[in-house]
Amino acid sequence: MPEKALSRHREKQNNNLEEHMRLPPFQYLEPTNAEEALSIISSHKETVKIMAGGTDLVNRMKLRLIEPAFVMNIGKLRNLDGIDIGDTETVIGANTRLREVAGAPLVKKRFRAIAEAAFQVASSAITNMATVGGNILQNTRCLYYDQSGLVLNGLERCHKRGGNVCLAVKGSARCFSVYQGDMAPAFIAFDARCVLEKKGSTRTVSLPELFTGNGAAPLAIGADELLTKIIIPNPEGLYGSAYRKLRLRGSTDYPLASAAAFVSVAKDRKVTLCRLVIGAAGTAPKVIDRASPDADLEVIAQKAYELAEGVDNLLLPGAYRKKMVSVLARRAIKAAMDGIKEGV
């Protein structure tokens, strides 16, 4: 190809790439209070996307994975943030920044796994912006989906894009995209619930109920609903918790495998409950409960291995990630048991 023609071709490719990485057009909305936000959601439903920190939403919009007509920024709604530690339960607002959760002394003391998860989400630049609710409500990811339009145009339309195939698991009738949130496994380890509000009503559900298990539509939250707070029952007695994750870079990446553990013991130090929650192992966090004094670390780690899907659709091979789930399960449970202390 002649040099001038090659130069024009490269320039056209660069322009196309730049165009695809720009945000699509949308109308920006900024409510002044929660009631106004709920009214906007009620009116616009599927056509509006909610932004708090924006760390996940903006990337998805740049890739043209979503092109909402409206973007509603709730980041400045102060009545949706904060940490309130009461006598029987702790309430964390959905708008609370991850840096605040990671740095709160009482969260570190009573809910170590939650503080560790918040600290490990990403760099300080991200945790200064990212919110608890935004991290929980992340969409699932897959190497065959989280790409620019330039790449996706060359791929067959998969389940997550409204098609009938899974490019990661040939012949599969379902989507195997992966949920990679850090906070949900840690909250689930503490048996947390979440509050979902819409105009005129409120409902409270256990955190696992937020997840459908369907990678193509992974979240069970209505188009007219807003996640406003997380409620954690305060544990009693002797207990410990921990969160461990696998990622390629130490301060920026989503988990490629993760495990959150909560362990409580009787006064004689026999285990009364061991709850393990594994993440980045399927379309939703997976829970393993062993409510007995004979909870065995190896049995739980093996169960974690069996539950992990280990599909080749993230940056590391699925077989390796599946093995690392059991490794992280052991580490998280051991760290939780090493950190057992008197609940207050």
Q: DSSP for 223-266, please give it.
A: TT-EEEEEEEEPP-SEEEEEEEEE-SSTTTPPPSEEEEEEEEE-
Judge if 34 and 131 occupy the same domain.
no
Q: How confident is the model at residue 271 (pLDDT cuts 50, 70, 90)?
A: confident
Average pLDDT for residues 221-238, to the nearest whole number?
Answer: 95
The whole-number pLDDT of residue 268 equals 85
Judge if 65 and 114 occupy the same domain.
no
Alpha-carbon distance of 178 to 196, in angstroms, equals: 23
- Residue 342, classified by CB atoms within 10 Å of its CB into exposed (0-12), middle (13-18) or buried (19+), is exposed
Alpha-carbon distance of 203 to 336, in angstroms, equals: 32
Full residue range of the structural domain in which residue 55 is found: 27-73
Q: How confident is the model at residue 122 (pLDDT cuts 50, 70, 90)?
A: confident
Nearest to 145 by CA among 160, 162, 164: 160
Q: Name the pTM for this structure.
A: 0.90
Give the number of domains in the chain: 2
Judge if 309 and 186 occupy the same domain.
yes
Assign residue 207 the CATH number of its domain: 3.30.465.10
Within-domain flag for 169: no
Judge if 64 and 186 occupy the same domain.
no
Least confident interval from 55-69, 138-152, 289-303: 289-303
Tell me 91's DSSP state: E
Higher pLDDT, 125 or 12: 125
The whole-number pLDDT of residue 252 equals 66
Alpha-carbon distance of 295 to 324, in angstroms, equals: 21
Q: How confident is the model at residue 13 (pLDDT cuts 50, 70, 90)?
A: very low
Asked if 280 contacts 257 with a C-beta cutoff of 8 angstroms, the reply is yes
Judge if 51 and 127 occupy the same domain.
no
